Amino acid sequence: MSVAQPDRNAIELSVVLHALSDPTRLAVARQLDQCGECPCGSFEVGVAKSTLSQHLRVLREAGLTHTRCNGNQRWVSLRRADLDERFPGLLDVVLSSAALEKSR
């Protein structure tokens, strides 16, 4: 089973920034940055499973994440290489700023 995801060149800055403007989606991105690849059900962000599914869809459609299907399990990872090529340094700045903000 294949999950639709935008090509690297189709990723738009405004869509990426909009996706990361939500605190839950930003928390998911931070967790992915730390763990590399995670199963869809493993995120600890304090929302219902259906809500998390919608947040993961927004991140995927924005080009921030890659979803891989393995049997009935879906694995999610950040598309760091694609994003760094398209928008150098953007993820580093956003994720490190979010970490600083959370530690306050």
Look at 43 and 9; give whichever has higher pLDDT.
Answer: 9
C-alpha distance across the termini of the chain, in Å: 42
Q: Residue 84: what pLDDT?
A: 96
Predicted confidence (pLDDT) at residue 1 exceeds the cutoff of 60? no
- Can you give the residue ranges of every domain in the chain? 11-98
Decide which of 100 and 79 is more confident.
Answer: 79
* Between residues 77 and 5, the one the model is more confident about: 77
Dihedral sign (CA 51, 91, 10, 21): positive
Please give the pLDDT value at position 3: 76
For 62-98, what is each residue's pLDDT tens digit? 999 999 988 888 999 999 999 999 999 999 999 988 7
pLDDT tens sequence across 28-50: 999 999 989 988 888 888 888 88
Alpha carbon distances (Å) from 41 to 1, 49, 71, 92, 95: 18, 8, 14, 25, 22
Of the two residues 2 and 35, the one the predictor is more confident about is 35
Name the architecture of domain 11-98. Orthogonal Bundle (1.10)
